Structure 1
Amino acid sequence: MAGLSTSWLSGRGNANAAGLLCARVACTFAAMSTTPDAVGLPCSVSALLSALGVASVQVAVYDAEDRLVWSNPAHQAVFGPPSTPPLAFADMLRRNFAEQRGVRIDCGDVELFLRQVLPRRRAVSQRAFATDLVTGEWLWIHETLLPEGWLVSIGTDITPLKRLETDLRVAHDEALNASRTDALTGLSNRRWILELAESQTETALARGAPLALATIDLDDFKGINDSGAHLAGDAVLCHFADEATRFFRRGDIVGRPGGDEFLVVMLDADADSALAAVERFRVRLALAQVEAGVPRYTFSAGVATANADEDTQATLRRADRALYEAKLAGRACTRVAP
């Protein structure tokens, strides 16, 4: 067994080790296929087969007709024992599907699954891939196709790595979401809503579709905080955020750049439709305040539509100027930028 990694036999090797082991096993079974009987096998081959019998990696050998002719106990524990006469690979998958073991088939149709995987099998001399099992475990499979048509498959358990990968992906997604979300209201925060406004504006202009930006500022928010402490202010901010999220269309985006300021990105909306939407929301919000029992509040808004002659920041500045005009007009109203 000189040159055969014991760490790989225990399932702790790497992909390179899998390739080396595949080559070693391939040579072994190539010798077996040309040897009249097992008695004539070299001692090194017998030693290798003995080691594979106790290895935790899953080793299987298929003949030129893709029939499973030999597998070690680790492979049999997952995919079942070889049959007499030898069972073809496709038939083994059918049997395992019926017995609910082996590879997980998400589509629920083993024949469809076979039509997808069989064209890739034996298409190249070596390939490696990950696959998951019905038990929830994951295997890394390395296959070697011999010139004579025999195929050697070696699998090792990578479940801990897959679980770590999943944990890292979840942690990454959570961190990314936190970096984009306003902690109080759950809306897009300043950085993210401005990025979305810019990207959506570019997309709308590229396809010749209208887009409107509405900047909204709650009226006399300082008075709300002063009269009911910051908890009252937080309740109003959350109430506005919830109502805005429910009211505006699914494709529209609501964000909180900061303080008592909000930004709504309205897709496929010209100035008239954006103004009408904001005013309908104003009516809805007044009714919702009574239902929720939050302090009475109003908002002022400025609307500006995107155009190809300016960037998103310029559009936002026009919306802000329109908002300022609404404040000067007595608040609780909306103005549209020219």
Structure 2
Amino acid sequence: DLKDKFVMPGFMDMHVHIEHESSPTRYLDRFRQNKSDIALGAIKYCERTLMAGFTTVRDLGGTGVNVSLRNAINKGEISGPRIYTAEKSIATTGGHADPTNGVRDDLKGDPGPKEGVINSIEDAKKAVRQRYKNGADCIKITATGGVLSVAKDGQGPQFTVEEVKAVVDAAADYGYVTAAHAHGAEGMKRAVLGGIHSIEHGTKMNEEVMQMMIDSGTYYVPTISAGKFVEEKAKIPGYYPSIIVPKALEIGPKIQATFEKAYKAGVKIAFGTDAGVSPHGDNAKEFVFMVEGGMRNFEALLSATVSSADLMNLTKDYGTLEVGKKADIIAMKLNPLINIDATLDVSFVMKGNIIYKNE
């Protein structure tokens, strides 16, 4: 009986990393944790996310454990959101998401398309096909440098237009939606020209890129939560490796301001947090940051329902409450159209006609 609650479709987060969560030991853990350790730890992240009202997430990169988590959730073996995963994101050698960045020479090896690292059009196609073989549902590339990679560059372009297009074309063969991590404008331009479906983070998006995205219908997934989190943690000595700190302090504070400009310009926006960088279960804080950035409450809610479903081609089953759609239903005690903080306290969660929370 939800007659005294405010009911809406389950929230959708288009950018999470469900396997991990930020901590001061995160970089050492790469050498200490087995995949079984990652999987056991991630069970609580899945549950936290679902209890926060997020019934669907797009996982944009991990070790492959994300595929197993998706399968376990789909079988009802553990509780969690419906996961659409990119498995391992696709990088270039030395680029953001090259798994050997920061590793000593005798451990680096030479990762290639099988490991999600490419350097040519043919590599790009092979990497996509490997993700398909490994059980991915979508594809992510790292089109620019990144804040949290153990490398100096946090924003320079790392894919050619031709490489992006090869990824997108190969992904289309499997019906995959594609996403591009991008902080710098040149990398975003190349990603949009290559046909990518969404730009993640978009920190230094300029007016030219905004217009390109509007013209092409490319979605923007802002992840303001991650920007604020890394800026805060970078001020704590030792929390991040020293090579990361200046990137976090520069890029982190810019994301919300970019969001405000992109929103006013009319860029299509889907909801995404980069949870895993920020804590799982705190996903709804992104609504608050979006409203702070000038978005109306109603539009912020649409970004996590209708718009996210549209981005992932899921509107047939999700994104609205209609007869014939899947029963992903959440409820809040307060009206989020009036007070966006209501999204921080979801009291009822139903996913696929099963009730997981009822307070």
The two structures have a TM-score, normalised by structure 2, of 0.21
**Pair member with larger Rg:** 1
Structure 1 length-normalised TM: 0.21
Higher normalized contact order (CA 8 Å, seq sep 6+, divided by chain length): 2
